[in-house]
Amino acid sequence: MFGNTTRHMPYLRTYEEAEKQFNKRGAVRSKKWAENERPIYKTYHHYRVTKHAEYYDLILYRTVMARYFTPTMVDGKLHERCLYMGDQSITSRDFMHHVLGVSQGMSEILAEDKRVIAPVYYRASLHHDGEPFSADYLYVDGVLDTTRSVHTRHFRKVSSKDDRANRAEMVKRFEPYIMMAQMRMPEFHANTEVDRHAGQPFGSGNERKYRDAICDMAEGSTEQTDINHFFELCEDAYTTLASKRAYNQRGFSMGTYRSPSPDPIDKLEKQITPSEFRTAIIGRINRLTGAHERTELVEIPQFVVESEYPRTNIVLKG
């Protein structure tokens, strides 16, 4: 409900727009409302704009999502300072997008059409008049001045030398079993029936149910039950690979309501290779044992060029 409500709210992206909204009506007659507060939507107190001596605050519940300072003229240029604070809730993200016009991956166009990322993160890195914020942006004639602006520091995770060594050791422990799985590829091929759910985007197999067995084998277990589960995992990997290839192949039927049986795997234009199968197995081993984790942090520059922004795998430090 709240996410839809923000779509009906006015744009409040500058000091001028916040001031216009504040002056749109008089004070609300209620003990809940202070003299310097005005509603943004109907008379809901959790969406409000407050007036102060030098700035307007845009508030969602108890969080100051934006603070717009009185614009000033410096050397004939308009200077506008804005503070922002993000949040991960659906309501907050909708408020940021529909009302404030900002987001975690917001981009800004600088001079010469250079596009950079000016994010509004959920982790604070500065305070002003007792309120936390994650971005302090100065706009000069409507263009972000990156030399006098700052946002929460952000990092991306990369594999350290120890991480890579750990993965190599993990592969070494499972190498005999991986080779045996590759030798059993004809058997897996004969038993495989493609699955729509595994083949569609973001679909996967059922690898998590084999976590205990794989972790035991990583610690040296040779129990037959664990080994059987390992080969079941391999068969699941083969089915997932084939299903994704079938899903993306034009004309390959994954089964319908009227005809539930999918096309046979032999209809694939490109069959699964031993190398692809090996990579899929190793990927599952790493994920189930935690060997896929990256522990080294590399800082991303402030206002990085949009094409170099990772979008995912980001770690924040206030």
CA distance 207 to 194: 16
- Taking alpha carbons only, the member of 125, 148, 143, 147 closest to residue 135 is 125
CA distance 121 to 90: 14
Assign 98 to helix, strand or coil. Answer: helix
Confidence of residue 4 (pLDDT cuts 50, 70, 90): low
- Taking alpha carbons only, the member of 288, 267, 285, 281 closest to residue 238 is 281
Asked if the model's pLDDT at residue 318 lies above 90, the reply is no
The neighbouring-strand residues paired with 64 are 59
Return the pLDDT at 1.
Answer: 41
Return the pLDDT at 112.
Answer: 76
Tokens standing for 19?
A: 């001031």
Return the pLDDT at 248.
Answer: 94
Return the pLDDT at 211.
Answer: 95
Strand 55-60 and strand 135-140: the pairing is unpaired
∠ CA 138-144-147, rounded to 5°: 70
pLDDT in tens, 20-30: 999 998 889 89
pLDDT in tens, 153-184: 999 999 999 999 999 999 999 999 999 999 99
Assign 214 to helix, strand or coil. Answer: helix
The neighbouring-strand residues paired with 298 are 156
List of residues 6+ apart from 15 with CB closer than 8 A: 55, 56, 68, 69, 70, 71, 80
CA distances from 29 to 52, 78, 96, 146, 160 (A): 20, 37, 28, 43, 60
Asked if the model's pLDDT at residue 301 lies above 70, the reply is yes
CA distances from 95 to 13, 48, 204 (A): 11, 12, 33
Confidence of residue 219 (pLDDT cuts 50, 70, 90): very high
Q: Is the dihedral of CA 256, 269, 265, 232 positive or negative?
A: negative
Q: What is the DSSP letter of 99?
A: I
Asked if the model's pLDDT at residue 3 lies above 60, the reply is no
Confidence of residue 2 (pLDDT cuts 50, 70, 90): very low
- List % helix, strand, coil for the chain (3-state, nearest 5): 40, 20, 40
Share of the chain above pLDDT 90, in %: 83
Tokens standing for 161?
A: 């030398």
List of residues 6+ apart from 203 with CB closer than 8 A: 197, 240, 243, 244
Average pLDDT over residues 109-124: 91
pLDDT in tens, 56-104: 999 999 999 999 999 999 999 999 999 999 999 999 999 999 999 999 8
CA distance 106 to 303: 10
